[in-house]
Amino acid sequence: MKDIIISTQFSVFESVQELPNDIQNLMGQAVEVRKNAYAPYSKFRVGTALLLDNGKIVLGSNQENAAFPSGLCAERVAVFQAGSIYPEAKILKMAITAASDTNQTTAPIPPCGSCRQSIAEYEIKQESPIEIYFMGEIGAVYKSESLKNLLPFMFDKRFL
């Protein structure tokens, strides 16, 4: 037997104001689109903004459904929209913010497992990492240089 040691690294910004200006703008758009979330069941609203290599910004917010799990998370709404509208573009950066209608979220909220798998598909497809910034409603922002930090054992087309 042998052990495998996996190490990940994240940068931590104490607030949105510490982020570079372009990321502050991207996160600001994620905050705005978070308001469009349809979250009558969870009361948990998520907004995502993607910066593409063609300069376009694509937005997404979570969309719930009474026939659970028919809804979609904000990250997948944005990623799938980018793939549909700009299929040749690469996703350079992703900003994610989450807020609850019932209590203030102060801890950074990372993508769920399904979203991680979907982001991984695009990172592998484009053969370049996606910078991911995530936060709660207020407080610190975490930055990952790649989805690989969040999902070190990715399942992808190599296994098919």
Mark whether 14 is an active-site residue: no
Distances (CA, A) of 66 to 32, 41, 44, 75, 115: 24, 8, 15, 20, 20
- Is the Cβ–Cβ distance between 34 and 97 less than 8 Å? yes
Q: One of 18, 32, 75, 88 is an active-site residue; which one?
A: 75
Token digits for 36? 């469009």
Spell out the alpha helix ranges (H) of 14-151.
21-34, 74-85, 113-126
Nearest-angstrom CA–CA distance, 106 and 103: 9
Catalytic residues: 75
